[in-house]
Structure 1
Amino acid sequence: MSKYRPRPQDPAGEDDVVALLTHQHGQIRNLFDEVEAATGADRRDAFHRLVRMLAIHETAEEEVVHPFARRAFGDASEVVAERLEEERQAKEQLKALEDMGPEDPAFLPALLALREAVTRHARAEERYEFAALRRTADPQRLARMATAVRAAEATAPTHPHPGVESGAKNLALGPLAAVVDRTRDALRKANRSDG
């Protein structure tokens, strides 16, 4: 099987689900850097962007990638179960950080613990799931999955919802949670611009 090469009109290679999600892992690392380096309102804004990115990214993986992995490669059940458990734990940590707020003295140590867990999780996805996707899915399948990930992201919740890690639960509960989350985000943004 030939190594994937991005098409000229798509220099980032993001018409391929593995390239898209790996690129997002990089964006998440950059957002962690931004939150750590910022203070005050800038830290709060960067943290809100991180929360949104993580919530949307994980939902899309749970709806598209993990179910495909379970069906496509034989030894994936345990690998997927491990990733889902990591995602549940990260959602709990992220929710606790959201409840705490960036002003809390315990925020930065908790953020660093979350960063370590998310980094380990991303490495495991890339090493096990994404590598297996590369071996088993043809470029057309990878492109269709990238399209499905983008569609899932467009309607995903923007805040963590621990306990909603399966594709089925996301499809059942995600739309309602997304409406509530996106309304909450709009109100927060409107209140911030009024003040």
Structure 2
Amino acid sequence: MVHGHGGDVIQELTADHREVEDIFGQIEALPAGDHRRRQLADQATIELVRHSVAEEMHLYPAVRRFLTNGDAVADKEIEDHSEAERTMKQLESCQADDPEFDRLMAQLMSEIRDHVTDEENNLFPRLRESTTPDDLAQLGAKVRAAKETAPTRPHPTAPTTPPANRLLAPGAGMVDRVRDALTGRGTDH
């Protein structure tokens, strides 16, 4: 269990935000072109897609249900996710020494940081005001379960067994592969 995870949905998602920010900080601390930046970008992508899927499955339906103007709020959040995913998909095909990698990484960090600020300053306080602690605790458990249904984070030694090896396979499509694994899309069951 990653330190800081647990608790209600707001605590859980805030811990995710700090984790991704930590990865971004590691990327920013490395010199341009360093191959470790590519590995960290992959790690950030997996974390971000897991977080996005969990929010789309559980947080945004709650936002629609509990918040005044909840539909508009949820629609905007989902649009933020779509923008970030488009950036992550472009990033997949860039190596760390490609100038485009730096441009896209900066764009992704900016998109995610804006989204995080908006969620933490606006969405989360509104959700806390309009729900009960029990609602938030139940949502936290659902979000954790949703994130755990798929291969989680890349390990120092790349996995050689499915489905994790397919998730981390080189080439385009990692965002979609992670999303498919989390949502069960494209599986037989």
- TM-score past 0.5 threshold: yes
2:29 paired with 1:37: yes
Tell me how far apart the structure 1 counterparts of residues 50 and 58 of structure 2 sit (CA, whole Å): 12
8 A Cα contact 1:57 1:153, kept in partner: yes
Moved more, 49-58 or 137-146: 137-146
8 A Cα contact 2:64 2:71, kept in partner: yes
CA root-mean-square deviation: 2.7
Distance 1:178 1:114, change over 3 A: farther
Tell me how far apart the structure 2 counterparts of residues 130 and 114 of structure 1 sit (CA, whole Å): 22
Q: Structure 2 counterpart of 1:38, which letter?
A: L
8 A Cα contact 1:35 1:46, kept in partner: yes
Structure with the higher fraction of residues in helix conformation: 1
Q: TM-score if structure 2 supplies the norm length?
A: 0.76
How many percent identity over aligned positions? 28
Please, which runs of 5 or more residues in structure 2 have no aligned partner?
A: 152-166, 168-173
2:169 paired with 1:160: no
Tell me which residue corresponds to 1:167. none
Tell me which residue corresponds to 2:184. 175
Please, which runs of 5 or more residues in structure 1 have no aligned partner?
A: 1-10, 165-169, 180-195
Mapping of 1:141-156 within 5 angstroms? 141-156=135-150
Question: How far did 1:178 drift?
Answer: 8.6
2:68 paired with 1:74: yes
Give the one of 129, 134, 148 matched to 1:140.
134
- Secondary structure of 2:6's counterpart equals coil
- Secondary structure of 1:14's counterpart equals coil
- Secondary structure of 1:160's counterpart equals helix
